[in-house]
Amino acid sequence: MRLKDKVALIVGAGGPMGTAVSTLFAQEGAKVVLAARRKEPLKALVERIKRIGGEASFVAGDALTYEGAQSMVAHAIDWYGRLDILYHNIGDYAFGEKPLAETEESEWRYLINVNLNSAFQPCRFAIPMMKQNGGGVIILVSAATKVRQRANAGYAAAKAGLIGLTLNLAKNLKPFNIRVHCLCPSSIGELKSSERIGLPTPNLNRAGEPEDVAYLALFLCSDEASWLTGLVIDIDGGESLS
């Protein structure tokens, strides 16, 4: 098993991509802590993971708040005694391609908060725990280049901010053996048809699936990738080549 005895905190575990990475990590031996605001999807996912022989627990909270993020990291420490992996999966492709001049201040603030600021508190609390372990892995989920170009300015700015945060953390955390990467998915199969209007035809003869993101995350979090840090990877089926 590629993540045997690792403890992974999945922030934003309720959606399809969060479900895919949580399930795969558990199958590969990780003790998985599922975190999101709503309890019911987390409870169902814990039961699903346990049915396939994995180990999981959940904590409900808001990663944007000091208390919520602290409780997520504390839960991992209290239940499993350590934290090896932080996977930040929170985001919202809200307001589509709305022009900046038509964007309300409240909409801009929402986009920055949910897509960028939501990474601040979880990273803040996870890093000291990883330093105590002698290392760890942080994965931030942004968006592919073409997705950011199509989106509204608030979404694009926030997701680009995650890339900047990744590179800054990767540089500063090298001495502590903490590796940091940014995954940038294109349109994934979880999107509803109404959200796919105007998107290009699938690349590599199919649309992307949540598992495409999960398998790359698995590799980057495994010891096989122990000499890699600071990677920003488009997961887009070759869309960026067009």
pLDDT tens by residue, the chain, 242 residues:
999 999 999 999 989 999 999 999 999 999 999 999 999 999 999 999 999 999 999 999 999 999 999 999 999 999 999 999 999 999 999 999 999 999 999 999 999 999 999 999 999 999 999 999 999 999 999 999 999 999 999 999 999 999 999 999 999 999 999 999 999 999 887 444 444 444 555 688 888 999 999 999 999 999 999 999 999 999 999 988 87
User: Is 156 inside any structural domain?
Assistant: yes
Provide Rg for the chain, Cα atoms: 17
Give the C-alpha separation, 98 to 103, whole Å: 7
* 116 domain-assigned: yes
Total tally of structural domains belonging to the chain:
1
d(CA 202, CA 92): 21
Residue 2 lies in a domain: no
Active site residue 155: yes
Q: Does 88 reside within a domain? A: yes
- Assess contact for 19 and 47: CB atoms under 8 A: no
Do the strands 232-235 and 31-36 form a parallel or antiparallel pair, or are they unpaired? unpaired
Taking the CA atoms of residue 39, residue 45, residue 48 and residue 53 in that order, the dihedral angle to the nearest 10 degrees is -110
Two tokens, residue 108: 């801009």
Catalytic residue, from 87, 110, 155, 215: name it. 155
pLDDT at position 193 is: 43
- Burial of residue 175, with CB atoms counted within 10 A of its CB: 0-12 exposed, 13-18 middle, 19 or more buried: exposed
Q: Which helix (H) or strand (E) holds 114?
A: helix 105-115
Q: For residue 6, which of 212, 174, 218 has the smallest C-alpha distance?
A: 218
Domain assignment present for 1:
no
SS3 state at 168: helix
Task: Give the Cα separation of 71 and 95 in Å (integer).
Answer: 31
The CATH number assigned to the domain holding 93 equals 3.40.50.720
Which residue range forms the structural domain that includes residue 83? 7-241
